[in-house]
Amino acid sequence: MKKSYTIYCLLIGSLFFSSCVSNKKFSTLQTEKQKLEQTLLTTKNELSVAKRSLNKLEDASSSSVQEKNSAINQLQQQLNESQNALNAAQGAIVSCQDNLQKKQALLEAQKVAMEQEYAPLLNLKEKLQRQHNALKNIHQDLKGLKAVDSTLQFSMMLSKGELKLALEQNHLFNSSGTLLSTKGRTNLLALASIIKKYPTVYITIQGHTAIGGDERSNWKASSRKTLSIIYTLMTADIPPKQMISTAYGQYMPIESNDTPDGKLANQRTELILHYQNKALLKQVPIR
């Protein structure tokens, strides 16, 4: 009997102890459960916040991608338009280059034709320039001659194509008015020493008189003056073919005949140094 009671007590104690252990363990589990629930709630909240942030990021990313795609499309469109414009410009350049080459070829052909056509004129211009330079040289030589010999009395005027020497009556002829004086002959020979250095120069001798006497006498007087000069220049070895005699009588005065000084100025003789331009003009093609 006592043994049975003892066993019963042990069984009761064992159950009580087991019950106490279970309650403690349950309480611990309950606490852990609450912690887990709190942790889970916190995690859910954090996950919710994270989702909202992710959604914002996705929205921003989507908007950024759309803007980028739009910008890319616009740039691509501009690029296409620029490429089309470039292609058109290149085509225009090629066309212009072709036209330019054709025009250059045409201009070159025209240039060759013009050079062939105007070559005689250019040659004539070059010869005329050389002749003008020769007249300038004669002008300088005669100025030097006058500087050395003060007895030489004549005036000079160099213009395009000719050099005019004007000799006064009383420095060239005697009292008859048509025969050379000794002084006049000396002056002419001095001039001839310069002129004959230029064998291509032509000399036109022009005789003038003042009004006085009849016209026929004036014509004769002006002619005799020019012929006497030609004869003198021939003795200085100037070929006759290079000299021309022209008599104007009283019809080309340079001063009034109402005064003695004016009449003296009109009784002049002029030597025109020039070139035979008619020979040069024959080189110019006339159509």
The answer to the question of residue 80 being in a domain is no
Instruction: Say how far apart CA 72 and CA 76 lie, in whole Å.
Output: 6
Phi then psi dihedrals of residue 194, to 5 deg = -85, -45
> Which of the two residues, 279 and 32, has the higher pLDDT score?
32
Q: What is the pLDDT of residues 183-234, one digit of tens each?
A: 889 989 999 999 999 988 999 999 998 887 788 888 898 999 999 999 999 9
Q: What is the separation, in whole angstroms, between the first and last Cα of the chain?
A: 173
pLDDT of the residue at 64: 72
Q: How many domains does the chain have?
A: 1
Looking only at the bridges linking them, the beta strands covering 162-167 and 243-249 are: unpaired
The answer to the question of residue 100 being in a domain is no
The answer to the question of residue 77 being in a domain is no
Closest CA to 154 of 119, 124, 120, 195: 195
The residue with tokens 């080309």 is 252
The answer to the question of residue 56 being in a domain is no
The answer to the question of residue 92 being in a domain is no
Q: What is the pLDDT of residues 144-154, one digit of tens each?
A: 988 888 778 88
CATH number of the domain bearing residue 265: 3.30.1330.60
Percent of the chain with pLDDT over 70: 85
Tell me which residue range forms the domain holding 143. Answer: 127-281
Does the structure show a pLDDT above 50 at 2? Answer: no
pLDDT of the residue at 7: 54
